Amino acid sequence: MPKRPDDDLFAATTMSFGDHLEELRVSLFKAILGLILGFFVGLALANWVVEYIQTPLKKALEDHYISKAIGDLQSDYGQELPADVHRFVEENRLVFEKIYVEASEWQRVKGLSDQAAKKAPQPDAPKAAEAKPPGEGTGGEAAPEIILGAKLPIPRAPLVATRVWKPIHTVVKALNAQEAFMIWMKAGFVVGLVLSSPYVFLQIWNFVAAGLYPHEKRYVHIYLPFSLVLFLAGASTAFFMAFKYVLDFLFGFNAAMKIDPDPRISEWLGFVLLLPLAFGVAFQLPLVMLFLHRIGIFTIEVYLSKWRLAVLIIFVAAMIITPTADPITMLLLALPMTGLYFLGIALCRWMPRNKTPFSEGYEP
């Protein structure tokens, strides 16, 4: 039956203070229980997660060392490198070390190699050597232990420069014994928090919904999924797009200053957690604008007339909330937020504020 204006629209929604405390106790217990279960699942996945989050760092390190190898070759060559040299280094993902070998030592090692090749059994020869005890040679050749343990001759000039190529081996280090364990625990907690977050938010929502009016609950059903989508979009933007440009920019300074990076896993994990979190929170801007519009603090006309000031504030806020001081991270956050500012204006037009907050409580 339609409600009359003199009816108490919210009579069925009132709760005593004790009822609120009981609802809070139950919701907190369920949320903590879900978080603990998620933590144990996260511990089982922690090794894989730690390995996965190192992917952008290792890729950036590889690109840094490849660029450094090409730069060193450029310095040695003295002019523009041929295209096939670039392809050789980039396609094979190889780096080199320049070493110096004594000319006499080069000849000695070559003589030993030729001597060993001559005394090696031929493919069609009897395989009697396989039955000999370890350490015994065949046909009077020196035993391997004697060759490996022989003293090197006194160094002689001249020296011959050469290159030794090797595949890139990027390593993220831990500086003490307990650091790996703490990383495992921290990664497990973060993974558990992410996995259990829908259930935790559901319990928080159950507590909050108990104190809301019917017309307010409908808004939460709309805003909460939208907020989750914006947060995931911000975190994904940070992990899949921002990390690459930020690391390339930062490692560029390592190359310019001739400093080889030696990343530490605990510092990298903190960076991995902070940057997506900052992006996820910043991407809530359209919802904040819609909320301020609905409670009457700002209007659409104010948003449109003050957009230049808003863009300036967005850039300053991006500079403050990003965990690094580089301009690339600030731009990668500020530019999407500028687009989200105009998305917030579109949301305000799409969901205009009602003249009275109680108009939705009446049935037509």
Q: How far is residue 325 from each of residues 12, 246, 271, 321, measured CA to CA in Å?
A: 53, 11, 12, 10
Compute the chain's Rg from CA coordinates. 33
Model confidence at 193: pLDDT above 80: yes
Select from 304, 300, 293 the least CA-distant residue to 219: 293
Residue 349 sits in which domain range? 11-57+177-361
With respect to residue 331, please indicate whether it lies within any of the assigned structural domains: yes
187 pLDDT band (50/70/90 cuts)?
confident
DSSP class of residue 101 equals E
Find the distance separating the first CA and the last CA of the chain, reported in whole Å.
Answer: 10
Of residues 273 and 238, more confidently modeled: 238
* Nearest CA among 190, 203, 213 for reference residue 358: 213
pLDDT score, position 40: 94
In a domain, 46, yes or no: yes
Question: Which pLDDT does position 134 carry in this prediction?
Answer: 47
72 domain-assigned: no
Instruction: Mention every residue, 6+ apart, whose C-beta is less than 8 A from residue 254.
Output: 64, 260, 261
E strand or H helix at 99, and its extent? strand 94-102
Give the residue from 166, 168, 183, 172 showing the smallest Cα distance to 261.
Answer: 172
Residue 114 placed within a domain: no
Predicted local confidence at residue 121, as pLDDT = 67
Query: What is the CB-side half-sphere exposure of residue 237 using CA atoms within 13 A?
Result: 21
Burial class (CB in 10 A: 0-12, 13-18, 19+), 276: buried
Average pLDDT, the chain: 79
Write b or e for each residue in 330-359: b if 16 or more Cβ atoms lie within 10 A of its Cβ, otherwise e: bbbbbebbbebbebbbebbeeeeeeeeeee
In a domain, 118, yes or no: no
Per-residue pLDDT of 104-153, as tens digits, reads: 888 888 887 777 777 766 665 555 445 445 444 444 444 454 555 567 78
67-96 pLDDT tens trace: 888 888 888 887 788 888 888 888 888 888
Q: Please give the pLDDT value at position 152.
A: 79
pLDDT at res. 138: 47
CA distance 82 to 99: 23
Domain count, the chain: 1
Q: Which of 54-63, 111-120, 343-352 has the lowest mean pLDDT?
A: 111-120
Give the mean model confidence (pLDDT) for residues 14-43: 83
Rounded to two decimals, the pTM is: 0.65
| The predicted structure's pLDDT at residue 104 | 86
Residue 290, in any domain of the structure? yes
Instruction: Give the pLDDT of residue 151.
Output: 77
In a domain, residue 123? The reply is: no
pLDDT tens-digit profile of 302-338? 999 999 999 999 999 888 888 777 788 889 889 999 9
